[in-house]
Every structure is written in C-alpha cells, then in structure tokens.
Structure 1
C-alpha cells in the first residue's frame, strides 16, 4: 500500500503517490474508464487526488467529483488549481486577481461536489496582479473554509520566498509547490528545493516519468507507438517533444539493467527516483487505464541504494536538464488571454 508523507511543515499528510487527471479525464479517456482509474487508485491506498479548473476546460474537475462520490470526504485530500483561462476566456477569466480566485474556487467546489478543497494552488505566478492582492484573496479563501491550505505550481525560489512571507503576515500557510521533476528534468534542485527546505515548503512533482519517455516505450529510430502521448493531438504531444531526441531515448534504454536489479519497470524506477528526494512529498501519476495505476504504485516505498543513484546519473549524463533558470523561462510572462 502507498505510504503517506507530511506536506511541508504542515500537519497535513498526503499519499506519496498522488493521482492526477491532467490530459486524461474529460479529454483522452471516457468517464467510465476515468472512474475505474480513480477506483484503482483508492484500492491501492492513494488518498490524494489532484486536478485543476483548466483541465479539459473545467470538465476534469466534474469527472473527478463524480468518480469520488460516495467516498468518505474526511479520508481524502482533494487538490485543485487556479490561474489558466477557463470558461469563455473573457478578460477576467484567467490569472490570480481577487475576482478570478474568488469566482474560481466557487466553481471548482461545485464541480468537485465538496464544501472545501484540502489544497488550493496557484497554477502559475501572475505577473500582472500584485502579489499582495493574490495572497490576500487566498487568505480569505482559507478563512471562509473553502480551502484548508494554499500551494503554488512552478514558482521560482524568489517567488516562493515572497509568497511565503506574505502568507505568514496574513495568517495562513503556503506549504507546497508543484513543479515538473524527473530524472531528465532536475531544474528545481539548484534553487527551488533549497529555498523550499528553508521555508517548510514541499514539492508535489508532476511528470516523474517525463511524459512517458522514462517508461522506455519510445525507442530511438523506431516509429512512435500508436495511441501514445507523443501522438496525442489534444495537447500531449506538445509537452513530450523536448524529450523525443535519439540521444535521450538511447540513454533511457541503458537504464533497464538498473530497473531490473531493483525488480522494477523503467516507469516504476522513474517514480521511485523522484521519491528519493526528501523535499518531495508526493509524485503525481496519471493513467488512461486502471492497470497503469496498479503498476505505478509499486514504486511507493522503494529505496534506491546510493550506488544505483550514482549509476543513473552516469548513464543519463549530459542529457539531463539542470539549469534552474528554466523555471522562469518556461513561465508565462503575461496573463494568458
């Protein structure tokens, strides 16, 4: 079964594997399959479920809410996010203004079928809204009982520091960051993780399998597998493109002996690897089939010996992205329209 870890310096525990429904619920898979995946997660001991209002333009929240009906609410941790455009995408339908946050939390709660979310996250940093306005709105959401804790996603170290300081002044806890992190994408290690450790902020990491590349199913010189994320025209292919280089794919294949030594698949090795970082509270997994959930949770509780961690580093070598500046460079420079 899946273990649980404290989220930052808070008293909240979340499952070390979080089930997320980005790019699946409401878009890639039918609702019946989505519900089966959620049930598989529950059966495996996963209690933490992550979504966002922007996923499938709010539909993913509704699908998750329906899938969790009948479950004891107190036994779940439900996470959602706000920032990206939703609805008809009018001038105030995006960003972290007070207006958008207060309206978005109400919409998310209605779609999820719950009175509160355990963690409400700023899905990106809003360069066009004063941070004081954003954090005051989050403080009010917490005081109204609509969210228990506040987190962010893909914020830089400086943004985390500023947001954390304001949250303390306003009387609530900023306890988490949700960045991309994998064996191939380690940009948070240089600045974000050290700052987070200092501030009591934990990481809930997405794409631990690098959009599926670390599963080993993409082989250099061979056609892309039919039905894979790399062939998904609804958005999946956009995010995986940076990893679909022959030099990267060849190095991934060289990790098979490491996975075999641990009795893991390559995908399980990838999830287990991110969980070795003591600042990571949970790894986000998605699934288009219940069997994928069952397989991924086998990474929980695995301890990778230091010599094998060093071997992974040696195999991957210079195909790993370490540049901490990538967090800022990949962030939106203006509020999305």
Structure 2
C-alpha cells in the first residue's frame, strides 16, 4: 500500500523515518555496528527465551510506532486523526475475518426514524463517532427503511471517510407472497449463501453475516459455502444481556472455534429493562409505552419481569462499589466476554449514549471475583453439555 511513494515528499518522509529510527536506537534489519549496541546485543543474546520474546515484542511495537508516524507524515496528518489514540476505544476482530470493529457499536432499531428526531439522531452519531465508534448497525425494516436513509444522510453531511466506518444492515421482510419472504422451504440456505456471495462479488458489501439464526443453520450455511466455493458468513447477531446468555456463551463459542464465526450482540440492556427505568412501572416516554411494543410492556409487568427487577436491585450495590451505573455495569458485563466482537448500543438521548459509552472505563474492573458475584445473584449461568466420546 505504501510502496508508491515518490518525489520530494517521499524523500523527506524517508529522512524523517530514518531520523526517528536512529533516535529510537532500533534497527529494522537488526544490525548496528556501534560498539555500544554490539555489547547490548551480546547481552541480549544471553537472555532467557521469555526475555528474548519480550525484547522482540518491544522491538515490534517500536517498529509499528515508527511506521505509523511515517504513514501520518505521508498523509499530512497528526496523531489526532487516529481515533484509537484520542478515544481509547478498544477494537476487536469480527470473528476470524480480520475486520476490526469497535467493541461498542451504535444501533438504530426503534430510535432512528421513529422514537427520535433526525437532529437527535445526528447528535447521537456524532457522539459515537467522536468516541471512537466505527460500527453502525441498521436494517431495511427499521422505520420502514427510513433508518437507513437517515444514517446515510448523516454520514454524507458530516463528510466522514466512508473507509473509516463499518456499516451493517439486514434484509428480511420482502413482499407478501410466500416466495418473497421468510426462511421457508422455498428459501433454502443454499440460495441465501449464493445471493450473499453475489452481493460481495458485485462490491455491494465486503462481508455477510446472520441475525437470529440457529447454530445448525449457520453451520449449514458454512458447509454450503465450502461445498460450492462460495463465501461463508463471518458473524452472527444475537441477543445478549444479563438475562439472555445461552446462545452467546454456549453455542457461538463452538462455532467460532470450528468455523471462525464471531458474535455481534444487541440489546445489552434488554430493551431498557436493565436501565432501571421500569422499576416503578412503565414511563410514558419509554419504548414499552409505544403501541407496537405491547409485548415488551407485558414482559415487564409479568411475574418473571418482577423477579428480574428484584435481581437488578441486588446488583445495584456492585455497581455502586465499582463507581458506575447499572447500565454501565450491564454493558461492561457483556464486553467482559472475549467471544463478543462488538456490543450494539441503542440510545434515545445523548445522555444515555454517553453513559453507556462509559462502560469502557468499567471493563477493567470486571474481575473474575466481580463476575462470580453477578453470577451468584443471577443464577442463570449456562453450562455446555460435553461430549465425552470426543
């Protein structure tokens, strides 16, 4: 990528690069003829294998830093243009695809084109982007397609580099006829894999994944892709929060190790149940108060919903001890799972989004002791059934 550097700018950057390497005392080729360096190299040669590994790691880190400085100079940029340096937002691989995504993403379900205005949507995206979020999720069905339009309009208005963003969308509803919707017998998985491979080959997408598929369906899609030399899915979008754990903690890890499928999770606050705002009923401005979310209201006022609210009250002292809010604790709890590539946040106000993004600071506090405390309160930790024949 950087091989085509010519002209005065290239020679100037090359001189700066050499200068930086000399200042650092590190030679890429590993050869330094000075007596001082020779003695240091002789001393390093007597290091233990672990010491040599640590030295090599430091050298590689220094080399990456030098190359990054060189690249920023080449593009006439400063370190302020790298979101990782300014925001501290961790990035993870999306499964084994090599695609790097921020560990927190912004979703647009219910909010964009529905619950909030376009101005608030723009404010939310700006806060997320400036906080280091590069993953934005939407879908064809969200607000009957309006969410996708709003998302694209904001990106165009802001002038953000498209190559710096990862946009995910979903297809589902289709038409009214049986042959235009659903995963029926007329929509076999082979056709889906073939269609998504065509989409990628045409340059309309770079990767494809699944949402709310079973482990068996994902495995079948992978097998079809391998059988017919097509492109397999790289991730599964799954619901994951304190009260929904089975799929992400038991089924998806096996798929990751076998076929490299990553996990992108949604609803870390269980549609707002974990936020605490439903502790005393259903507020008028909440999602559960909307007509199309009567199912959520029934879920909250049910006996199981009351039990969940009692468990949340028991979790509050843990959040207070860690110096965070209950939503921040819930999001950090999702992030503590290394099998989760990214957690999608849904917020209707800038204050909610800023609060949820603060879970990044809580993540280092999620020790095994804290996680065990939470498990003892929830009492819903799933256990995989081991096959002793294998």
State the shift of 1:253 in Å.
Answer: 1.2
In structure 1, what is the Cα distance between the partners aligned to 2:125 and 2:184? Answer: 31
Asked if 2 retains the 8 angstrom alpha-carbon contact of 1:175 and 1:201, the reply is yes
Asked if 2 retains the 8 angstrom alpha-carbon contact of 1:210 and 1:240, the reply is no
Return 5+ residue gaps in structure 2 as ranges: 1-86, 385-390
State the shift of 1:164 in Å.
Answer: 1.4
Asked if 1 retains the 8 angstrom alpha-carbon contact of 2:207 and 2:233, the reply is yes
In structure 1, what is the Cα distance between the partners aligned to 2:245 and 2:186? Answer: 28
1:7 matched residue in structure 2: 94
State the shift of 1:32 in Å.
Answer: 1.1
**Which structure is higher in strand share?**
1
In structure 2, what is the Cα distance between the partners aligned to 1:279 and 1:273? Answer: 12
State the shift of 1:195 in Å.
Answer: 2.4
Structure 1 ranges of 4+ moved more than 6 A: none
Q: Check if 1:231 corresponds to 2:320.
A: no
1:330 matched residue in structure 2: none
TM-score (structure 1 length as normaliser): 0.80
Q: Pick from 263, 275, 281 the counterpart of residue 203 of structure 1.
A: 263
* Structure 1 residues 306 and 83, CA gap change in structure 2 (3 angstroms): same
Indicate the RMSD between aligned Cα atoms, in angstroms.
2.1
In structure 1, what is the Cα distance between the partners aligned to 2:295 and 2:344? Answer: 19
Q: Check if 1:162 corresponds to 2:220.
A: yes
In structure 2, what is the Cα distance between the partners aligned to 1:227 and 1:164? Answer: 43
**Which structure is higher in helix share?**
2
Q: Check if 1:249 corresponds to 2:338.
A: no
Secondary structure at 1:147 match in 2? coil
State the shift of 1:187 in Å.
Answer: 2.3
Greater mean alpha carbon deviation, residues 293-302 or residues 239-248: 239-248
Q: Check if 1:272 corresponds to 2:358.
A: no
State the shift of 1:300 in Å.
Answer: 2.2
In structure 1, what is the Cα distance between the partners aligned to 2:372 and 2:360? Answer: 20
Q: Pick from 224, 238, 245 the counterpart of residue 186 of structure 1.
A: 245
Asked if 2 retains the 8 angstrom alpha-carbon contact of 1:20 and 1:51, the reply is yes
In structure 1, what is the Cα distance between the partners aligned to 2:194 and 2:235? Answer: 17
Secondary structure at 1:190 match in 2? helix
State the shift of 1:52 in Å.
Answer: 0.2
State the shift of 1:250 in Å.
Answer: 0.9
Asked if 2 retains the 8 angstrom alpha-carbon contact of 1:156 and 1:192, the reply is no
Secondary structure at 2:246 match in 1? coil
TM-score (structure 2 length as normaliser): 0.70
In structure 2, what is the Cα distance between the partners aligned to 1:93 and 1:49? Answer: 30
Q: Pick from 35, 45, 49 the counterpart of residue 122 of structure 2.
A: 35
Asked if 2 retains the 8 angstrom alpha-carbon contact of 1:83 and 1:94, the reply is no
State the shift of 1:225 in Å.
Answer: 2.2
In structure 2, what is the Cα distance between the partners aligned to 1:52 and 1:127? Answer: 24
Secondary structure at 2:111 match in 1? coil
Q: Pick from 290, 295, 306 the counterpart of residue 368 of structure 2.
A: 306
Q: Which has the larger radius of gyration?
A: 2
Aligned residues: 288
Return 5+ residue gaps in structure 1 as ranges: 97-124, 325-337
Q: Check if 1:263 corresponds to 2:320.
A: no
In structure 1, what is the Cα distance between the partners aligned to 2:173 and 2:125? Answer: 24
Q: Pick from 159, 177, 183 the counterpart of residue 91 of structure 1.
A: 177
State the shift of 1:126 in Å.
Answer: 5.1
Q: Which has the higher contact order (CA 8 A, sep 6+)?
A: 1
Asked if 2 retains the 8 angstrom alpha-carbon contact of 1:136 and 1:170, the reply is no
* Structure 1 residues 193 and 128, CA gap change in structure 2 (3 angstroms): farther
CA displacement 1:113-167 (0-9 Å, x = unmatched) = xxxxxxxxxxxx5554111111111111111011100100111111111111223
